[in-house]
DNA sequence: GTGAAAGCGCTAACAT
DNA sequence: ATGTTAGCGCTTTCAC
């Protein structure tokens, strides 16, 4: 059997309360007592039982991060950033993959596992605006990342989807592009990132006095590389002409880039292309991929700050924070 | 306060034991009783408290996966595969990032958090052969993934590093390459994957009667894209001539690919290049990257099977399993 | 500054 | 087939 607080107490000749005080860095413990207890802890190799601590205190110092897919580089990089930021708050992070399924999202959010957590960061993909009410009655503090549910009952930290894509589109226009493909527009729900990003595309066209051509809008069902590849191949094969592409996620944009090249189109000479997310891969692809940096570390920092405040009992009205974005210019949109 | 088993028992007019029996799908419960209890559970919205269950039973149905870096696509894809496999065993997975640091690895393995877990899958990077003894006395069942500690006290599931790189090198030789760079050889410890892969490279040269040239061996400190890029640039700038590259990890190989192209070398015409890991990115790079598929799903399946057996109390002698590999031929090594 | 006692919610051992 | 009881290891409350 493992060493318990009682064993330490016996060995040090004190009560378990005193051992607990030492373990938890309680201030008012006589130095000599503390030393004696610490010696016993070290000698016996005592390690506190977190299950017991959690059952009693109701706190686990652990939060969950719900994301759709770990294989998607954007989410893997987000998870990494969040884990490191959480570390600084003394919080551990467990990652849940939802596969973008609303059912899986809520199975987790309402299941027994979530109650062992101090809070949740929820990057929703399946959940909709209509689920706002369900989100209002979750058992633990939750902060939303990403889109889909706007003006909901929860703190919400995300990126400037519309402004970012508008800047990306303007970047292509400034470069001389006039027929720009919007890759990743989704027929999806109001408030989904596909829709928000589409708005940025349209706004940039309006600003520049360029016509909006429905034939340049490519819808996709998901954001895997292969989906971007297939969609771009089909567009090219359909005979549509264009000189720029703004991809709504780097993953599909890399697929599209490859499709352009397979079709004999030179990038950026024939077609300039820019993505969104600024994943590590962009720095080493051929050509390197211009992208919108959505401010991942700002998102991680603010989301954790909000969550820690809620865990601490804050009952402020729900807040929304949009991280600053930046255009990262690389070879795929270089001037010829 | 949350609804407890007592509340349900009162509501259903039974004892807490009966509620527990229903919740845990114990067979010998009268159908009518079960229905009554279930109704109370649903009506009250009872959800079991996992902390209490774990404290009492000593089981959490959760395992940890320790990996160096989530940002590295190989590990992100491995984590995904393992999470899905674990799901089928009814196990949850928490991911720990070690940054490849021995200290971080052992801080976790010997810390309080690990005792709340039923087992650990440990992809060691910092730990060494010399740590074998420490690994023998871990508090929970642990299965090793990857290299570094061979013939240790634990079950060990990994890939055919030597055979895989030997096949990759032979693939280049078959294609006509005679001066092949080994990218990723490490001066590291005996048993590290860099060393094992290096052995495969040398074996293939011997088989083919090709000379071993130390000048074609490039050492790297880590496996990030940028490291591969820099190392390849330096090699090229040094004036060494070569017509093939076998990269010991896809990440550094993608960096090297980009460096070749930046230096005006055509792939595969001037230089053929093959990697190791078979990450998703290989399918969409320009050119697509040939690679060794190390058998990730087999690794995940066997590792979980071993771990589940150990959790079940198996005291068999430590086993080693090497997954089958496969050469995935793509454009980067296509015959001209 | 330290101790005694209670009890978090559950499962397991033993009754019946 | 169901009930009773004990106790997992800890933190918390209240004494002193």
CB A231 within 8 A of CB A183: yes
Query: Region B57-81: what's the mean pLDDT?
Result: 96
Query: From residue B101, how far is each of A59, A299, B106, B223 by CA, in Å?
Result: 28, 27, 9, 14
Among A51, A73, A285, beta carbon nearest to B116: A51
CA distances from A247 to A100, A212, B327 (A): 20, 16, 32
Query: In this structure, is the CB of residue B49 within 7 Å of any atom belonging to strand C?
Result: yes
d(CA A72, CA B238): 37
CB contacts, 8 Å: A229 with chain B:
284
Residue B133 token pair = 């003894």
Residues A247 and A167 reside in one and the same domain? yes
The answer to whether the predicted template modeling score (pTM) of the entire model surpasses 0.85 is yes
* pLDDT the model gives residue A147: 80
Are the Cβ atoms of A113 and B92 closer than 8 angstroms?
Answer: yes
From start to end of B263-319, where are the E strands?
A: 272-276, 290-293
Which CATH number covers residue A270?
A: 3.40.50.2300
Q: In the prediction, which pLDDT does A148 show?
A: 72
Phi, psi (5° rounding) for residue A324?
A: -70, 140
Q: Which is more confident, A130 or B286?
A: B286
Q: Distance between terminal CA atoms of chain A?
A: 71
Name the nt closest to A1 by C-alpha to C1': D8
Nearest to A285 by CA among B258, B72, B265: B258
Asked if strand D comes closer than 7 Å to A6 Cβ, the answer is yes
Cβ B335 to strand D below 7 Å: no
Q: Which residue of A has its CA nearest to B110?
A: A47
CA distances from A201 to A172, A175, A248 (A): 11, 15, 10
Quick check: A187 pLDDT over 70? no
Residue A57 confidence (pLDDT) above 70: yes
pLDDT at position B1? 63
The residue lying closest to nucleotide C2, measuring its CA against C1', is A18
Among A residues 135-194, those touching chain B with beta carbons less than 8 Å apart: 139
Q: Are residues B96 and B243 in the same domain?
A: no
CA distances from A174 to A40, A159, A181, B93, B278 (A): 70, 23, 15, 48, 39
Whether residue A35 is predicted with pLDDT greater than 70 in this model: the reply is yes
Which of the listed ranges A225-229, B41-45, B149-153 does the model predict with the highest average pLDDT? Answer: A225-229
Token pair of B206, please? 């011997």
**Do A145 and A172 share a domain, yes or no?**
no
- A53, closest nucleotide (Cα–C1'): D10
Query: Is the confidence at residue B191, as pLDDT, over 70?
Result: no
User: Strand D and chain A: which residues 11-30 have CB closer than 7 Å?
Assistant: 16-17, 20, 23-24
- The per-residue pLDDT for range A102-147, each reduced to its tens digit, is 999 999 999 999 999 999 999 999 888 888 888 998 999 999 998 8
Task: Examine the pLDDT at B237 and tell me if it is beyond 80.
Answer: yes
- Amino acid B190: pLDDT: 63
Q: Name the residue facing A49 among B47, B69, B115 (closest C-beta).
A: B115
Cβ–Cβ below 8 Å for A280 and B71: yes
B35 touching chain A per CB within 8 A:
no
Residue B27 has pLDDT above 90, yes or no: no
Q: Identify the residue whose Cα has the smallest distance to the C1' of C3.
A: A15
Mean residue pLDDT across chain B? 93
**B36 is in which domain, residue-wise?**
5-57
Do B318 and B206 lie in a common domain?
no
Q: Considering its fold, how many domains does chain B have in total?
A: 3
Say if A266 is an interface residue toward chain B (CB within 8 Å). no
CA of B21 to C1' of D1 (A): 11
Do B99 and B131 belong together in one domain?
Answer: yes
Examine the domain organization and report whether A154 and A175 are in the same domain. Answer: no
Question: Closest by alpha carbon to A169, among A295, A273, A25?
Answer: A273
Is A309 part of any domain?
yes
pLDDT score of B263 more than 70: yes
B138 and B218 in a common domain: no
Interface of A with B in 36-55 (CB under 8 A): 47-52, 54-55
Could you tell me if residue B333 is inside a domain? no
- A208 vs A198: CA distance, rounded Å: 16
Do B248 and B134 share a domain, yes or no? no
What mean pLDDT value characterizes chain A?
93
Domain identity same for A118 and A166: no
Alpha helices by DSSP H, listed for chain B, are: 5-12, 16-23, 31-44, 50-57, 73-88, 102-109, 132-136, 161-174, 193-208, 225-237, 250-262, 296-311
Q: In the prediction, which pLDDT does B32 show?
A: 87
SS (H, E, C) B139-151: CCCEEEECCCCCC
Residues A175 and A249 in one domain: yes
**Residue A149 pLDDT > 80, yes or no?**
no
Tens digits of per-residue pLDDT, B80-117?
A: 999 999 999 999 999 999 999 999 999 999 999 999 99
Q: Looking at the complex, does the CB of residue B111 fall below 8 Å from at least one CB of chain A?
A: yes
Q: Indicate which CATH number applies to the domain containing B36.
A: 1.10.260.40
Percent of the residues in chain B that have a pLDDT greater than 70, as a whole number:
98
**Which residues numbered 18-37 in chain B sit less than 7 A from strand C, measured from CB?**
20, 23-24
Whether the beta carbon of B180 falls within 7 A of nucleic chain D: the reply is no
> What is the nearest CA distance from A196 to chain B, expressed in angstroms?
27
Q: Does the pLDDT at position B168 exceed 90? A: yes
Q: Are residues A258 and A170 in the same domain?
A: yes
Least trusted range by pLDDT, from A183-197, A222-236, B172-186, B310-324: A183-197
A217 CB neighbours strand D below 7 A: no
Spatial distance from the CA of B10 to the C1' of D2 (Å): 14
CA of A136 to C1' of C6 (A): 35
User: What mean pLDDT comes out for the span B167-190?
Assistant: 89
Query: Above 90 in pLDDT, residue A191?
Result: no
**B132 pLDDT band (50/70/90 cuts)?**
confident
Residue A334 resides in a domain? no
């Amino acid at each position: 059997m493992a060493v318990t607080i009682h064993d330490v107490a016996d060995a040090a000749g004190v009560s378990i309360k005193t051992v607990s005080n030492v373990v938890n860095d309680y201030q008012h413990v006589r130095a000599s007592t503390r030393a004696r207890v610490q010696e016993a802890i070290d000698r016996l190799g005592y390690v506190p039982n977190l299950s017991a601590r959690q059952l009693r205190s109701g706190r686990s110092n652990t939060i969950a991060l719900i994301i759709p897919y770990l294989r998607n580089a954007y989410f893997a990089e987000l998870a990494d950033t969040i884990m490191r930021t959480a570390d600084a708050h003394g919080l551990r992070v467990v990652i849940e993959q939802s596969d973008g399924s609303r059912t899986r999202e809520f199975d987790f959010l309402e299941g027994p596992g979530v109650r062992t957590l101090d809070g949740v960061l929820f990057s929703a993909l399946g959940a909709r605006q209509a689920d706002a009410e369900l989100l209002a009655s979750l058992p633990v503090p939750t902060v939303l990342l990403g889109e889909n549910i706007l003006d909901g009952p929860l703190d919400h930290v995300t990126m400037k989807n519309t402004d970012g894509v508008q800047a990306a589109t303007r970047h292509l226009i400034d470069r001389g592009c006039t027929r720009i493909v919007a890759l990743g527009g989704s027929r999806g729900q109001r408030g989904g990132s596909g829709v928000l990003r589409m708005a940025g595309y349209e706004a940039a066209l309006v600003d520049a006095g360029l016509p909006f051509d429905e034939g340049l809008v490519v819808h996709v069902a998901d954001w895997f590389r292969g989906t971007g590849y297939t969609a771009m191949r089909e567009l090219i094969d359909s005979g549509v002409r264009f000189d720029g592409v703004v991809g709504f996620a780097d993953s599909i944009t890399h697929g599209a880039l490859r499709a352009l090249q397979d079709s004999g189109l030179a990038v950026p000479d024939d077609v300039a292309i820019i993505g969104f997310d600024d994943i590590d891969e962009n720095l080493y692809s051929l050509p390197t991929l211009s992208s919108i940096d959505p401010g991942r570390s700002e998102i991680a920092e603010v989301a954790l700050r909000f969550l820690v405040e809620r865990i601490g009992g804050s009952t402020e009205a729900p807040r929304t924070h949009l991280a600053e974005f930046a255009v990262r210019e690389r070879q795929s949109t270089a001037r010829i």
